[in-house]
Amino acid sequence: MLHERPAERNAPSPRSVRLSVTDRCDFACTYCRPSRSDGYASERLDLGAWKVLVSGLLTAGVRRFRLTGGEPLVHPEVVRIVSAVVEVAAAAGLEREIDLAMTTNASQLARLAKPLAEAGLRRINVSIDTLDEQRFRAITRGGELAPVLAGIDAALEAGLTPLKLNTVVLRGVNDDELEGLVRFAWARGMVPRFLEVMPIAEGAQLARSHLVTVAEMRASLAHLLQPDPAVAEPDRGPAKYVRARGASERVGFISGTSDTYCGSCDRLRVSSTGTLRPCLATDDGVESAAALAAASTAGVADLVGEAWLLKPDGRTFKGCTESSAAHVSMRAIGG
């Protein structure tokens, strides 16, 4: 389906990309996948293909790269992919201009934080929904909290900062832990961020019954935060931040459901099989297989432009609350 895209609303070309390096994951969070055995794609891009893709994305003007998934740390070559992004940027003379970050569940981070930092990864966001072991097992369907906490310590030690925590808030599940997570993050110099569950993929079921809006989250943290309007960081995605009362710490909020932010979106996504996707909430996309097989950087750059033309308009399109969103796989296209 094509959506009208008024040029004045969305960025004229993508500046930021999320690379879903694998659709595999060692967790099965209740809002993301239906079970641990919901099936994976039979193939994924190899290292050579990622190099051509990154080169094409740089040619098309992309400067901010975020590795995601699925779980990027279960990819056996994740450190080499990080090195490859840095090498390709250096070859194009753009090493100083790029930003290279990752979103991860941190289950494998204790052993990988240092090699990733040495390979050139700059920053990391860790998804953690609770500090309670039992709840953690329930939300992730069997995941263990202790390795995640060890991974966070290792990332701080390796200098992968500023480290942000992402928590999806679910009514009756973890909505009594906001203050605990804020204090946990602030005590370690991290930035806690709270996300509304989006009616996308498995979240389509949960958003009906378990949505906690950003307005409710702010109200429950009002005693810790300044009452001022939340402010976005320039070029850093949809999160808006509020400062602590009398201190410099911050809390971020992401309102993917109650207040969509499609009008300012400058983000493209690349699936683990190489589809260029302009939007999380639709199935629109452009296949890059032929350009990758021909190792054509210019071909990829052209396809990036083609994919960008499919970007929905930010005015009438209601982001992840559109009915199309319930049918996409968050894992495959990198949430």
Identify the bridge partners of residue 281 per DSSP, sorted by sequence position.
none
Per-position DSSP letters for 264-281, written without gaps between them: G--EEEE-TT-EEES-TT
From the list ligand SF4, ligand SAM, none, which binds 310 (C-beta under 5 to 8 Å, kind-based)? none
Q: Residue 320, class by beta-carbon neighbours within 10 Å (0-12 exposed, 13-18 middle, 19+ buried)?
A: buried
Find the helix or strand (DSSP H, E) in which 332 lies: helix 330-333
Name which of ligand SAM, ligand SF4, none residue 28 binds, using a CB cut-off of 5 to 8 Å depending on partner kind.
Answer: ligand SF4
The DSSP secondary structure of 34-73, one letter per residue, reads: S-TTS---S----HHHHHHHHHHHHHTT--EEEEEES-GG
CB of 246 to ligand SF4, least distance (A): 34
DSSP category for residue 260: -
Task: Write out the two tokens for 231.
Answer: 């402010």
Q: Which does 166 bind (CB under 5 to 8 A by kind): ligand SAM, ligand SF4, none?
A: ligand SAM
Considering the complex, state which of residue 257 and residue 297 has its C-beta at the smaller distance from ligand SAM.
257
Among 17, 101, 200, 265, binds ligand SAM (CB under 6 A): 200
- Considering only residues 173, 181, 197, 332, which one is a binding residue for ligand SAM as defined by CB under 6 A? 197
> Do 332 and 20 meet the contact criterion of CB atoms below 8 Å apart?
yes
Residues in 57-96 at the binding interface with ligand SF4, rule: CB under 6 A = 69-71
Tell me how many residues contact ligand SAM (CB under 6 A): 22
Q: Is 119 in the site for ligand SAM (CB under 6 A)?
A: no
Rounded CA Rg of the chain: 19
Considering only 154, 201, 242, 310, the residue that binds ligand SAM (CB under 6 A) is: 201
- Min CB(255)–ligand SAM separation in Å: 11
Q: What's the CA gap between 41 and 272, in Å, rounded? A: 8
Is residue 32 involved in binding ligand SF4 (CB under 6 A)?
yes
Residues of this chain, 11-50, that bind ligand SAM according to CB under 6 A: 25, 31-32
**Which stretches of the chain bind ligand SF4, using CB under 6 A?**
25, 27-29, 32-33, 69-71, 105, 127, 330-331
